[in-house]
Amino acid sequence: MTDEFQYRDGILHAEDVPIPEIAKAVGTPFYLYSSRMFAANLGAFQSALSGIDHLVCYSVKANSNVAVLRLLGNLGAGMDVVSGGEYVRARAAGIPGDRIVFSGVGKTRDEMAAALGGGIRHFNVESEPELRLLSEVAESHGTVAPIAIRINPDVDPGTHEKISTGKSGDKFGIPVSRVRDAYREAGQLPGIRVVGIDVHIGSQVMDLAPFRRVFRLLADLTRVLREDGHEIRRIDAGGGLGINYRPAEDPAPSPAEYCALLADTLGHLGVEIDVEPGRFISGNAGVMVSSVLYRKTGEARDILVLDSAMNDLLRPAMYGAYHEIEPVIAPAENGRTSAVDIVGPICESGDTFARGRELPQLSDGDLLVFRSTGAYGAVMASGYNSRPLIPEVLVNGEEFFVIRARIPVEDLINRDIVPEWLTAS
């Protein structure tokens, strides 16, 4: 894959812009994205599927900035949303309703109504009660909801337990043993029109084997459901293709290999194939830029205290995730390195990004980046410790744009309301 975060003359650039220039203008910490990488990653999927009737529906939850959605939408992407808020974002980015797929285990009546009113490609329905409610909501709006049922294939994707979604016992989808009954009911409900079948087995999947098992299962189920009289004209294969977070690990499967597998297993069915990649499209297209506040002497080794924290980038604390950490000023060749712990300022030991990381001699004021934070970075940020949400910046060639300004702490605290009885004298 192309990498648009490269050293030029010893300074890390984002596309053609030196990162220190952006840091000076915006202040650290901030997220920094490359337009070219979003486009290249989306393009890799689109061209790998070009021989098949398809739609690449970017998974909005990975990075939902409206500018990012607009960029991808302009290139022909559809969107996969998992909440009413994400639906509104996708629409605000100009994505037509018939390119938006609505997934998620807990859709509310209001969310269903909003999507039916604004236009929808299909709903991925995750339970029988949801099916009944959706039918009722559609009927009361004088319309019919297009649906696919998300099956739970009971396949272990071999990923972190918090991001596995396709094992029996996970909260997602309807088990294969009940799928025919669920479709039978769907076929009888007045507000429902069956258009396809759906699956999503989890995230950061690094092996094609679980995908192969699931796609074969989808092919079998498509045959069975068609024999039962249902119109299965679309297969939504979900997302989950992993990316490389570490330089020295086995390479993740490519979109070309993944899509060849889709074509192999499902191509003969005459269906349209939707995919929902999130992490693959945005993950490596972003970094988080941060400054060292203090180099502190620790018990075992030095500790770098940064101005970013677990509220800005949750993945290390939440999943024990690994991110490459690189200095913005290239280290001298053969320069001294040492192992350091890298932490944020929050009052929890969990606010530790990395331990024993080998880095050059960084000290107060030096800039560094966390690689591969374009997915599940900014979207998972919180205001914990009353830290204002950090900006997002998008680079395009020689220019950069602040696509979300730093959110002032006043905006966080002004939402708190002190009741009058506490202020009356």
Ligand X SMILES: *Cc1c(COP(=O)(O)O)cnc(C)c1O
Helix 255-266 and helix 208-227: axis angle, to 10°? 30
Both tokens assigned to 68:
């990012």
Work out which of 103, 127, 284, 308 binds ligand X, going by CB under 6 A: 103
Q: Is 62 in the site for ligand X (CB under 6 A)?
A: yes
Over its C-alpha atoms, the chain yields an Rg (Å, rounded) of 23
Given a contact cutoff of 8 angstroms between Cβ atoms, the answer to whether 18 and 6 are in contact is no
Q: Is 82 in the site for ligand X (CB under 6 A)?
A: yes
Q: Is 277 in the site for ligand X (CB under 6 A)?
A: yes
Give the amino acid at 70: R
211 or 400, CB closer to ligand X?
211
Work out which of 13, 54, 122, 200 binds ligand X, going by CB under 6 A: 200
β-pairing, 17-18 vs 11-14, is: antiparallel
61 or 89, CB closer to ligand X?
61
Sign of CA dihedral 120, 121, 124, 127: positive
The span of 28-36, 56-64, 293-301, 338-346 binding ligand X (CB under 6 A) equals 56-64
Least gap, CB of 62 to ligand X (angstroms): 5
Work out which of 13, 54, 61, 91 binds ligand X, going by CB under 6 A: 61
Angle at 405 between CA 402 and CA 406, to 5 degrees: 130
Q: Is 63 in the site for ligand X (CB under 6 A)?
A: no
CA dist 370 → 34, 276, 287, 377 (Å): 14, 25, 5, 10
Site string for ligand X, 141-180 (x = CB under 6 A): ----------------------------------------
Residue 154, by phi and psi: left (phi above 0), alpha (psi -120 to 50) or beta? left
Work out which of 84, 153, 238, 255 binds ligand X, going by CB under 6 A: 238
Q: Is 234 in the site for ligand X (CB under 6 A)?
A: no
Question: Which residues ranging from 282 to 311 are in contact with ligand X (CB under 6 A)?
Answer: none
Residue closest to 140 by CA, chosen among 118, 116, 119? 116
Q: Is 86 in the site for ligand X (CB under 6 A)?
A: no
Q: Is 203 in the site for ligand X (CB under 6 A)?
A: yes
Work out which of 59, 291, 308, 372 binds ligand X, going by CB under 6 A: 59
203 or 265, CB closer to ligand X?
203
CA dist 185 → 112, 179, 181 (Å): 19, 10, 6
316 or 344, CB closer to ligand X?
316
369: exposed, middle or buried (C-beta count within 10 Å: 0-12, 13-18, 19+)? buried
At CB < 8 A and 24+ separation, what contacts does 68-71 make? 68/33, 68/38, 68/282, 68/394, 68/403, 69/93, 69/95, 70/94, 71/35, 71/38, 71/39, 71/394
13 or 200, CB closer to ligand X?
200
Work out which of 240, 316, 374, 391 binds ligand X, going by CB under 6 A: 240
Least gap, CB of 248 to ligand X (angstroms): 22
Q: Is 199 in the site for ligand X (CB under 6 A)?
A: no
The span of 216-224, 244-252, 272-280, 292-300 binding ligand X (CB under 6 A) equals 272-280
Q: Is 276 in the site for ligand X (CB under 6 A)?
A: yes
Least gap, CB of 1 to ligand X (angstroms): 15
Instruction: Phi first, then psi: give them for residue 337, nearest 5 degrees.
Output: -120, 160
Chain centroid to CA 194: how far? 27
DSSP 173-210: SEEHHHHHHHHHHHHH-TTEEEEEEE---BSSB--HHH
192 or 205, CB closer to ligand X?
205
> Has 347 been annotated as catalytic?
yes
Given a contact cutoff of 8 angstroms between Cβ atoms, the answer to whether 223 and 180 are in contact is no
Q: Which of 248, 300, 347, 417 is catalytic?
A: 347
Work out which of 239, 255, 316, 374 binds ligand X, going by CB under 6 A: 239
The span of 83-91, 112-120, 271-279, 351-359 binding ligand X (CB under 6 A) equals 271-279
The count of chain residues that interact with ligand X, using the rule CB under 6 A, is 18
Both tokens assigned to 353:
């990004």
146 or 344, CB closer to ligand X?
146
CA dihedral 290, 385, 383, 351 (to 10 degrees): 50
Query: What is the C-alpha separation between 277 and 280, in angstroms, rounded?
Result: 6
Residues taking part in catalysis: 347
- Applying CB under 6 A, the residues found at the interface with ligand X are 59, 61-62, 80, 82, 103, 200, 203, 238-241, 276-280, 375
